[in-house]
């Protein structure tokens, strides 16, 4: 009889011992019985016969995790504080029964992509460095450089992974890749049907897929002969997973570059300071489009002011298109009584409920709890309820009532719920069926809009005033990205509503000056110069959560090389009826944080290494 240590896929538990008559390779995916259920696990090691009774391994599959995948899973499990089973849970294994038929001349001869002198210089620079940043303005032709690099990989019989932020699985990028590379491109994302997933996996396993494109999950596919990983819009927050394992796909891509010995390209018009400081970069300036952009600032709080309405009027008269960005979806973010100041909060979360007129409800954007819109204050019975913090749905409504026969559409998570809806909305906009597109962050993500001559940006001051060390970076990056969506063909106007004109105006055309100045603010305090870690405790019983936090922060005090920046209630104390507390740690080295937490961690502690969410 042989005995094996097996970690259960997606389970937070440690490994268990099972037995089998067969000799099984390390990394093999097997089926076992656990608490009367049949589950899958991964063979980690063979071991001696234990002194307790063990169950049989029920089934040995043809799927196997490679040595490199095992090393990667071990790294994720240690660095991001999750079990090995959870780390393997994000990956897909190789199929040992599938033979590659990639050599069967199914490659079509590609019309070669031609690059400009500057683009060629950029490509040569990227090839010289194991990991490098392509710091290119919006519209400067970063995608052509990636595509040329993919071409060269194909010539060397190697394959590439192309990561994009979740929402920017834009139909446009898909179209561009397919137009050039045809069936050699496979898209991978959560919105694929089981049938599409099966087909994509077949092409990945048999080697006919040469470019695998998708959001962060695409990084963990079983790609043989990997030669290159490209992370586009590397600054984007959707690369960070908000549930265990709480990894950042950009950082994992860099780590994979080392263990797989492949090139890694990080691309962005507004790179994160961390990437800018850590890696060599090539600066690609200017767009393909020689259009002029004029920035106008209006000192005003969030509202559709006469200046904005007037600019929209002129754009519509000229038969041109406009985009309008604001950070809040729904009609309004808060409902407040103007007599007693009572704010309508969710019954299960300590956050204000957002107003959705379409469904006649107030909704919590954290736990989805909803109520019908109240007619009077629940505290003082006053009918004087006012809404604050404008949202996308309200702006659409206001524009429609201001202009006759204008086609305005909302472009956010409330409306764009599927990949198909995204595709259709973008097509309508580019076919000039929509005059004004109103959206949240989604509007700024790498889409190509051809005829936009006006971009309106609201709510930046809310982003700038957030309690987050990257507030300046996020607000400026958003403005640059939204402005970059306009004036692709002709000159454009960018109208920004803010009380911080001096800040935005100083850096809007000079992002690298901002990065250089931002370095000074962050030295000695924040990443990339320090490592941060946030530990969360949540429980239906607030006293239990608070006690667990107190206990852990007291034991952490023993570690002199790890600083406790603060601890206490979270900014949002309750979510989904659980009370939340947190500890924020800072240190020079992540290894010091890992050692300290490993020594003091209690069962309630949820560890978020390199956090990007402080709310």
CA 443/CA 383 separation, integer angstroms: 36
Measuring CA to CA, which residue among 506, 501, 502, 530 is closest to residue 517?
A: 506
Is 349 annotated in a binding site? The answer is yes
Is 600 annotated in a binding site? The answer is no
CB 354: neighbour CB atoms within 10 A?
26
* Strand, coil or helix: 20: strand
Kindly give the pairing relationship between strand 226-232 and strand 263-268: parallel
* Strand, coil or helix: 253: helix
Q: Do residues 41 and 94 make contact, with C-beta atoms less than 8 angstroms apart?
A: no
* Strand, coil or helix: 17: strand
Distance (Å) of CA 364 to CA 48, 329, 371, 577, 587 = 53, 12, 9, 12, 35
CA 246/CA 416 separation, integer angstroms: 26
Q: Do residues 440 and 329 make contact, with C-beta atoms less than 8 angstroms apart?
A: yes
Is 47 annotated in a binding site? The answer is no
Measuring CA to CA, which residue among 164, 173, 186 is closest to residue 239?
A: 164
DSSP class of 76? H
The dihedral over CA atoms of 587, 593, 599, 603, expressed in degrees to the nearest 10, equals 120
| Residue burial 378-390, b: 16+ Cβ < 10 Å; e: rest | eeeeeeebebebb
Q: Is omega for the bond preceding 597 within 30 degrees of 0, making it cis?
A: no
Residue with tokens 């790609």: 223
CB burial of residue 190 (10 Å; 0-12, 13-18, 19+):
exposed
Q: Do residues 302 and 509 make contact, with C-beta atoms less than 8 angstroms apart?
A: no
Is 364 annotated in a binding site? The answer is yes
44: left (phi over 0), alpha (psi -120 to 50) or beta: alpha
Is 367 annotated in a binding site? The answer is yes
CB 231: neighbour CB atoms within 10 A?
29
Phi/psi of residue 64, nearest 5 degrees: -145, 135
Q: Do residues 471 and 465 make contact, with C-beta atoms less than 8 angstroms apart?
A: yes
Q: Is omega for the bond preceding 347 within 30 degrees of 0, making it cis?
A: no
Measuring CA to CA, which residue among 478, 476, 494 is closest to residue 486?
A: 494
Is 82 annotated in a binding site? The answer is no
CB burial of residue 315 (10 Å; 0-12, 13-18, 19+):
buried
Dmax (CA) for the chain in angstroms is 83
Is 570 annotated in a binding site? The answer is no
- Binding region: 337, 340, 346, 349, 364, 367, 377, 380
Binding-site residue ranges for Zn(2+): 337, 340, 346, 349, 364, 367, 377, 380
């Amino acid at each position: 009889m042989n005995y094996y240590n097996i970690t259960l896929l997606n389970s937070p538990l440690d490994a268990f011992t099972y037995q089998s008559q067969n000799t099984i390779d390390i990394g093999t995916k097997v089926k076992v019985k656990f608490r009367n259920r049949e589950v899958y696990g991964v063979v980690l090691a063979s071991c001696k016969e234990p002194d307790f009774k063990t169950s049989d391994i029920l089934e040995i599959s043809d799927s196997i995790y490679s040595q490199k995948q095992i090393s990667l899973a071990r790294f994720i499990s240690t660095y991001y504080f999750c079990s090995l089973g959870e780390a393997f849970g994000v990956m897909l294994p190789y199929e040992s029964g599938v033979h590659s038929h990639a050599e069967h001349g199914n490659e079509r001869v590609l019309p070669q992509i031609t690059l400009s002198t500057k683009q060629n210089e950029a490509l040569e620079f990227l090839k010289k460095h194991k990991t490098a940043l392509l710091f290119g303005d919006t519209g400067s032709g970063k995608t052509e450089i990636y595509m040329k690099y993919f071409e060269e990989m194909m010539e060397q019989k190697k394959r590439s992974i192309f990561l994009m932020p979740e929402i920017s699985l834009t139909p446009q990028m898909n179209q561009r890749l397919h137009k050039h590379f045809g069936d050699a491109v496979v898209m991978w994302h959560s919105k694929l049907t089981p049938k599409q997933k099966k087909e994509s996996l077949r092409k990945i396993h048999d080697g006919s897929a040469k470019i695998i494109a998708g959001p962060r999950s695409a990084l963990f596919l079983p790609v043989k002969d990997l030669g290159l990983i490209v992370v586009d819009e590397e600054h984007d927050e959707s690369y960070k997973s908000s549930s265990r394992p709480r990894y950042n796909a950009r950082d994992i891509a860099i780590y994979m570059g080392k263990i797989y010995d492949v090139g890694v390209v990080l691309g962005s018009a507004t790179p994160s300071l961390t990437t800018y400081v850590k890696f060599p970069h090539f600066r690609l300036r200017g767009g393909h489009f020689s259009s002029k952009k004029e920035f106008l600032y209006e000192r005003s709080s969030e509202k559709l002011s006469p200046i904005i309405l007037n600019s929209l009027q002129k754009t519509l008269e000229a038969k041109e298109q406009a985009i309008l960005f604001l950070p809040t979806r729904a009609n309004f973010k808060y409902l407040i009584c103007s007599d007693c100041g009572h704010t309508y909060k969710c019954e299960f979360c300590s956050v204000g409920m957002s107003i959705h007129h379409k469904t006649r409800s107030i909704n919590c954007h954290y736990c989805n709890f909803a109520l019908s819109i109240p007619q009077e204050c629940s505290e003082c019975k006053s009918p004087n309820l006012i809404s604050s913090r404008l949202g996308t749905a309200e702006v659409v409504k206001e524009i429609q009532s201001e202009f006759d026969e204008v086609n305005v559409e909302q472009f956010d998570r409330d409306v764009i719920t599927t990949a198909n809806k995204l595709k259709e909305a973008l097509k309508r906009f580019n076919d000039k069926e929509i005059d004004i597109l109103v959206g949240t962050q989604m509007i700024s993500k790498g889409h190509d809009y051809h005829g936009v001559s006006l971009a309106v940006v609201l709510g930046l001051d809310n982003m700038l005033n957030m309690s987050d060390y990257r507030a300046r970076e996020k607000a400026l990056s958003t403005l640059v990205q939204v402005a970059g969506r306009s004036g692709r063909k002709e000159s454009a106007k960018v109208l920004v509503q803010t009380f911080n004109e001096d800040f935005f105006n100083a850096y809007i055309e000079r992002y690298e000056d901002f990065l250089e100045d931002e370095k000074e603010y962050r030295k000695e305090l924040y990443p990339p110069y320090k490592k941060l870690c946030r530990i969360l405790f949540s429980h239906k019983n607030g006293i239990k959560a608070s006690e667990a936090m107190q206990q852990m922060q007291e034991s952490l005090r023993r570690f002199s090389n790890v600083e406790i920046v603060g601890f206490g209630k979270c900014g949002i104390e309750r979510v989904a009826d659980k009370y939340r507390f947190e500890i924020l740690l800072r240190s020079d080295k992540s290894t010091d944080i890992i050692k300290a937490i490993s020594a003091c961690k209690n069962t309630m502690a949820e560890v978020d290494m390199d956090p990007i969410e402080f709310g």
